[in-house]
Amino acid sequence: MIVTPIDHGIELAKNAPGYVRSPGLHVSQIYNDLYTSLEPKRYGGTDGPNLLRMELGLALEEGLEEPLKRRWGATRPGEQITKDGIIYTPDFLAYRDVTRLGEIKLTWMSSKGVPREKANGFPPKFDKYMTQMMFYCHELETPHATLLSYFVNGAGNYSGPELLGWDITFTARELHDCQQMLRNHARHKGWLK
């Protein structure tokens, strides 16, 4: 056997098909900064995002694109821009019972504690996901969302990976308060007037 390392040429999280990152203020910049200030021990790393994990998340999104299109008529809307010029990129829109924002997450967090039956919320460790989804829902003028999350470590204790999904309906108050919180944070940082 002869094993020779190669230069694969992949620039992690940069050259996925359809990957576009326009210049400007992205909502992810706002909520990432907000959560870094709220939970610095959890989100305050100085190394920046883990590009391999980002690439795996993008690969999951791409892998689910066709099945979601066939099953739910889902589309990838691409970048959207708010009235304030904030850029956001929903993973998909699904057209099942109602129009739903769709987000796909790949995570090393445990699925322990996530709703396994109808519930009124998620554990706080998922607040950042909910913040992102509420902002998107507000801008898309729908209270309905679908979250698909692939838990690499499952519920922990070597339980194995899990792909779980939830339909979520936010209240008008939750959507309003979330977008106000993010816009206020962006103004405080000088990113918005």
Give domain 27-188's CATH number out of 3.30.830.10, 3.90.320.10, 3.40.50.300, 3.30.360.10. 3.90.320.10
Which pTM value belongs to this model? 0.88
pLDDT category at 13 given cuts 50, 70, 90 is low
- Asked if residue 46 has pLDDT above 70, the reply is no
Q: State how far the Cα of 89 lies from the Cα of 77, in Å rounded to an integer.
A: 8
Q: How far is CA 75 from CA 7, 101, 103, 106, 129, in A?
A: 34, 10, 12, 19, 20
- Asked if residue 72 has pLDDT above 80, the reply is yes
| pLDDT of amino acid 71 | 93
- Asked if residue 74 has pLDDT above 80, the reply is yes
Residue 138: both structure tokens together:
């507000």
- Asked if residue 122 has pLDDT above 80, the reply is yes
Write down the domain spans for the chain. Answer: 27-188
